[in-house]
């Protein structure tokens, strides 16, 4: 499955959420990561993120069957392109 993770968390937790997310996904833009994950790795990612955030934070996961189901249009410069392998 292809996962896009978007987060809006308190400043003191941004680095922690990014660190967890980068273990599983590719950072593509401020507060946005994406990449291919197996269902088991996706479950681990969610569990690890849940340990870091608080109830006032927000993390969204957009889950698609595969990257082919995603169309991305970028204006400006891309910071990074996902290239992870399962």
Q: Annotation-wise, does 8 bind a ligand?
A: yes
Domains for the chain: give ranges and CATH numbers.
Answer: 2-68 (3.30.70.240)
Query: Do 1 and 29 touch, CB atoms closer than 8 A?
Result: no
77 vs 61: CA distance, rounded Å? 23
Q: What is the pTM of this model?
A: 0.86
pLDDT by residue (tens digit) across 18-70? 999 999 999 999 999 999 999 999 999 999 999 999 999 999 999 999 888 88
């Amino acid at each position: 499955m292809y996962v896009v993770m978007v987060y809006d968390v308190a400043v003191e937790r941004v680095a922690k959420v990014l660190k967890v997310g980068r273990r599983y996904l590719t950072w593509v833009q401020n507060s946005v990561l994406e990449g291919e994950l197996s269902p088991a790795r996706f479950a681990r990612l969610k569990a690890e993120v849940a340990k870091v955030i608080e109830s006032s934070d927000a993390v969204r996961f957009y889950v698609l069957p595969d990257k082919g189901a995603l169309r991305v249009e970028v204006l400006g410069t891309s910071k990074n392109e996902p290239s992870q392998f399962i």
